[in-house]
Amino acid sequence: MTSAQEGDRQAYEDLLTRVASLVHAFVRRRAGDAPWCEDVVQETLVALHRARHTYDISRPFAPWLYAIVQNRLVDALRAQRRKLLREVHPSLTFEPSGHALQERDAMRADVRRAVAGLPERQRQVIELLKFEDLSVRDVAARLGMSEANVKVTAHRGYRALRRLIEEWTRAD
Amino acid sequence: MPTEDLIQQLTSDLQPVRRLRPVAVRVAAWSVIALASLGLVTMLSGVRRELGDAVDKTDFAIEAALLTATALSAAFGALLVSIPGADRLRYMRSLPIVAGSATVVWALGEVLMATATGAPAGRATFAWYCLYKSTSIAFIPSVVLFLMIRRAAPLHAARAGFLALLATAAVGAIGANVVCPYDRPLHMLLWHAAPLMLFAGLGAGLGTWLLRWPRGAPPQSRGKKDSQH
């Protein structure tokens, strides 16, 4: 880590490779075979990269690393919990008719077509927020924007979408 | 993206970084700023007339000692909690809380003692002047401490914010003790000691908002910004 702080790329690559396997094993032990384990590993690597200037060479590396892993893992578990709470149990949902399904599919296709027609940034933000179900914070991190900017861009995107869909409805 | 690709990306993005200075050194730097702010505001406001007599009193000395202990231990804790894995010593976690609570308990004790002995405890009047002065003193040290925390990696944003404003509120309270001539126990409790807890609570909220970590752009889009560390 000391070499990595000084800019030694080879040492850093070796370190990250070893850390990735350690973190993977750590997350697996706690979360089992959850599909998001690899996401936690990657988020830990990114967090480690950002926090590398905080590592004190006079202290052991493991507590520093595992504090970051623990933090990322807890965040991931909270996100999963929120996601689970949003989902409705299948037994409580009613089965839509064939016609309703067709209408829903058509509407989905329309929305996707409308999103595809948005300016690049608005499209990216809405796709990540709504289709990939990422949080504002994750979208901001992914696109290199501030959270406020993500919200403003999304808002403008929704407005543009509304206009576009209203125009189509009138044309129909 | 496969993890191997991410590692490649992070490696290619690597720039030398400047390590954070030890927490004790950063606390010392912050203390200088806090003292400067305290000195400046008290100089502009003027110290209480009978300060010379007040400093000879045991009460004043004990309050000053408790507030100084709260300020230093909370600032130390706030900076420590912003370094991953560094806040493992339990006594370091509890010291600022113990010192801050002791300040409030001491002030409460003074009120109870005055009530029990029939000495004048003062009235529960509004004293915005004290709050305004202590906030003026605490403002710059608060901003500086928040910036210092943000430069690190505060995994526990609320705790870091709580400790940061506890530290700066203690500095503000020291200033209020020096500026305010009204030292009746009830006034000291309500307007000098209790705001510590109020500000600390506010700090927890502000910390969640301003100190959340990690934040900002991912490494692939940060370009050369890393060299600023």
Can you tell me the ipTM of this complex? 0.75
Domain count, chain B: 1
Taking the whole predicted model, whether its pTM rises above 0.80 is answered as no
pLDDT band at B221 (very low <50, low <70, confident <90, very high): very low
Question: A41-51 pLDDT, tens per residue?
Answer: 888 999 999 89
Half-sphere exposure of residue A50: CA atoms within 13 angstroms, side-chain side: 24
- A16 and A81 both lie in a single domain: yes
Structural domain that includes position A158: 97-171
- A80 and A7 both lie in a single domain: yes
What's the one-letter identity of residue A163? R
CATH number at residue A29: 1.10.1740.10
- A106 and A66 both lie in a single domain: no
Q: Is residue A20 in some structural domain?
A: yes
Instruction: Tell me what percent of the residues of chain B surpass a pLDDT of 70.
Output: 92
Q: Is residue A92 in some structural domain?
A: no
Q: Is residue A52 in some structural domain?
A: yes
- A9 and A64 both lie in a single domain: yes
pLDDT at A93: 58
pLDDT at B165: 96
Structural domain that includes position B119: 37-213
> Would you say B192 and B177 are in contact if contact means Cβ atoms under 8 Å apart?
yes
Q: Is residue A155 in some structural domain?
A: yes
Contact B85 A59 (CB under 8 A): yes
Question: How far apart are the C-alpha atoms of B155 and A138, rounded to whole Å?
Answer: 16
Question: How far apart are the C-alpha atoms of A53 and B134, rounded to whole Å?
Answer: 34
Q: Is residue B79 in some structural domain?
A: yes
Q: Is residue A146 in some structural domain?
A: yes
What does R_g of chain B's alpha carbons equal in angstroms?
Answer: 21
Q: Does A4 touch chain B (CB under 8 A)?
A: yes
Question: How far apart are the C-alpha atoms of B170 and B14, rounded to whole Å?
Answer: 41
Residue B21: pLDDT over 60: yes
Q: Is residue A91 in some structural domain?
A: no
| Domain final residue pick, A63, A86, A109 | A86
pLDDT band at A90 (very low <50, low <70, confident <90, very high): low
What's the one-letter identity of residue B16? P
Question: B165-174 pLDDT, tens per residue?
Answer: 999 999 999 9
Instruction: Tell me what percent of the residues of chain B surpass a pLDDT of 90.
Output: 55
Q: Is residue A56 in some structural domain?
A: yes
Question: B61-96 pLDDT, tens per residue?
Answer: 999 999 999 999 999 999 999 999 887 666 777 899
| Domain final residue pick, A29, A63, A86 | A86
B220 to A52, A70, A141, B71, B176: CA distances (angstroms): 16, 24, 10, 39, 48
**pLDDT (mean) for B159-187:** 92
Closest Cα in chain B, distance from residue A13 (Å)? 6
pLDDT band at B102 (very low <50, low <70, confident <90, very high): very high
A residues 53..92 contacting B (CB < 8 A): 53-57, 59, 63-68, 71
Domain count, chain A: 2
Which tokens is A9 given? Answer: 């790329």
User: How many residue contacts between A and B have a Cβ separation below 8 Å?
Assistant: 113
CATH number at residue A101: 1.10.10.10
| Domain final residue pick, A30, A55, A86 | A86
Q: Is residue B227 in some structural domain?
A: no
